[in-house]
Chains A and B, each alone.
Chain A
Amino acid sequence: MANAMEIYQLLPKTNCKECGKATCMAFAVSLLSRELTVNDCPPLKKDDFKANYEKLSDMITPVEGAAETGMIVHEDKCFGCGNCVVACPVNVADDPHGTGIGRAPTSDKVILRVEDGIVRTSNVHECRRFGKDKILCNGCIVTCPTEAIEFI
């Protein structure tokens, strides 16, 4: 999984500010949070950085598929056990008689549910990791037996 330092290593590191950010490190963080895209860095598009541009594009592709909370579900690893669905504190609070007791969701408010054997997200704004006051809840990560859930 990409992290800001790895992205930074592939940038021109000139702090040219052409992207509107103060430093290349700030650009790396913006890239990771999907505020900016690889194309927002003009020097990176020059021939000198062609290899780095391609590497960065590859690196950032999985991040683009992440939910707004930065959650990524590796579908090849998930087998739909539903541990995360039942353990999620938001699901328990919003659907105490459905997912809260291990059964199928009975409310539309749940943020995790299993469909076709794979966990899917909905209502991501309800997730504790969403927004400015987010907290680093890890209920779905620690309960996943296959490490299929990751946050960027």
Chain B
Amino acid sequence: MVILLNENYHVCTGCALLCDDIEVVIDGSRIIEVKTACRKGVARMKGCSKPMSPTVDGQEIDINSAIATAADILRNARTPLVFGLGNSTDMAQKKAIELAKRLGAVIDDTSSFCQGPILEAIFNEKIRSTTLEDVRNKADVIVYWGADPSNSHPRHLSKFSYFPRGLERQRGWEEDRTMVTIDIRKSHTAKISGDKFYQIPLQGDAEFIDALIDALSGKVPKVSFDYDTKRILELANILKKARFGIIFVGLGLVYSIGNIDPVVKLMDKLNKISDFYLIPMVGHYNMRGFNQNLFNETGYLNRVRFEKGDSNNVRHGVEFSIVESLNNKTIDAALIIGSDPLSSLPRVVVEHLLNIPVITIDPCETFTSGNIKSKSKLGTNLTIPSALSGVECGGSAIRMDGVEVVFEPIIETDYPTDEEILTRIIEAL
């Protein structure tokens, strides 16, 4: 399924919902008003508060020299890391994969410490997934597990899941839909689900899943923590009666269970007695796109190493994740595209980035680009500004449910796109 843009509307690239009904007011080359988008989307579409400039070790340079320096750094590296791309278009991602092949690089994205395992199961058809349009039209039982879309994807409930009227759910949230939230704290989303909020203890997810499977099988559910058995039976009853159920899996669940076997078990059980689907709550707007593109190319969705000179020789494993590559210090240069590992990973993990040359391609100053610039001890540190994807450059991206969304640029810019920068680096190599 591909969603083509209606000419009156723009696509918001603030998160993986890729809302395609956004109107903007433009003054010259700036967006001054954004209609229908949430605050996250508005912040993204109005542009950076601190735009990045092309620099090498803090000294301003022109963009052509920056690209030439980037090519030099990557050429001289033994094992470079290409990381990020969750905020880049499909074409830029494909170019990055081509670059990684040429360099014999390790390539990874945030999914290796995010929704990777769930997406892998969906790509390998171990778990059934569906589209958000089907959720809007058919879903009667909606479960948010370890997710708080009110903060991470603000329009999730209002655009697709709980509140809108759907073709088979004309009476919407008041009568036709039941929303359940399972979380360790009463989040903003949990507040909306009212008495259908099931609060479980930290790391209690796997045990709760087992108890739920027992309850679905007609057994008495048992958990080691203090929990009212009647409530688990009540939840099992809601799930059993679902005609079209959907589970939205958040990072809370993924981090808690370690491996996803309990989720696969639960989905198998649910599909024996009712009709259930699962969609991961992907964060960055095109993280799933990167996973899909790399999967199409290599059969793996992240944590890949290409062999230099033999692009068909692909290795995959935990050791090629950004975390392990930095921990084991196996990489000697990093190309970070549209990502901010210094804010998303612990300091002990990312410390190695201060010892190696780092190239950051991003429209805005990030915690990574700012800190690497000021605290680096050994490496060359290069920043290359790019066009803001989805606002200043068009392309296509894959939404959290696997649907491709095509979008056009909204305003013009002098900055090159991620794709252009990567193409020029490949040419310079």
Among B21, B23, B157, B158, residue most surrounded by chain A Cβ atoms (within 10 Å): B158
B36, closest chain A residue (CB): A104
Q: Which A residues lie within 8 Å of B35 (CB)?
A: 104, 113-116
- Whether B42 pairs with A102 at a CB distance below 8 angstroms is no
Contact of B157 among A83, A104, A114, A118 (CB under 8 A): A83
| CB neighbors of B among A83-134 (8 A) | 83, 85-87, 92, 96, 100-105, 113-118
Q: Which A residues lie within 8 Å of B188 (CB)?
A: 145-146
Main secondary structure of the interface of A (DSSP, over half): loop
- Whether A115 pairs with B192 at a CB distance below 8 angstroms is no
CB distance from B266 to the nearest CB of A (A): 26
Q: Does A36 interact with chain B (Cβ within 8 Å)?
A: no
Also in contact, A101 and B41, with CB within 8 A (given A113-B36, A114-B36):
no
B9, closest chain A residue (CB): A104
A53 to B151, CA, bound (A): 41
Contact of B159 among A102, A113, A146 (CB under 8 A): A102
- Whether A116 pairs with B38 at a CB distance below 8 angstroms is no
Q: Does A79 interact with chain B (Cβ within 8 Å)?
A: yes
CB distance from B167 to the nearest CB of A (A): 9
Contact of A86 among B33, B34, B163 (CB under 8 A): B163
Number of residues from A at the complex interface, CB < 8 A: 26
- Whether A101 pairs with B38 at a CB distance below 8 angstroms is no
CB distance from A129 to the nearest CB of B (A): 18
Q: Which A residues lie within 8 Å of B165 (CB)?
A: 92, 96, 100-101
- Whether B150 pairs with A81 at a CB distance below 8 angstroms is yes
Q: Which B residues lie within 8 Å of A82 (CB)?
A: 36, 38, 154-155, 158-159
Q: Which B residues lie within 8 Å of A116 (CB)?
A: 33-35, 42
Also in contact, A115 and B155, with CB within 8 A (given A83-B192, A96-B165, A103-B21):
no
- 5 tightest A-B contacts by CB? A102-B164, A117-B39, A145-B188, A104-B21, A117-B42
If A79-B151, A86-B164 are given as contacts, then 8 extra A-B residue pairs at C-beta distance below 8 Å, sorted by A number, are A81-B150, A87-B163, A104-B9, A104-B36, A114-B35, A114-B38, A115-B34, A146-B150
List 5 A-B pairs, Cβ < 8 Å: A79-B38, A79-B151, A82-B38, A82-B155, A116-B33
Interface residues, chain A, CB within 8 Å of chain B?
A: 78-83, 85-87, 92, 96, 100-105, 113-118, 143, 145-146
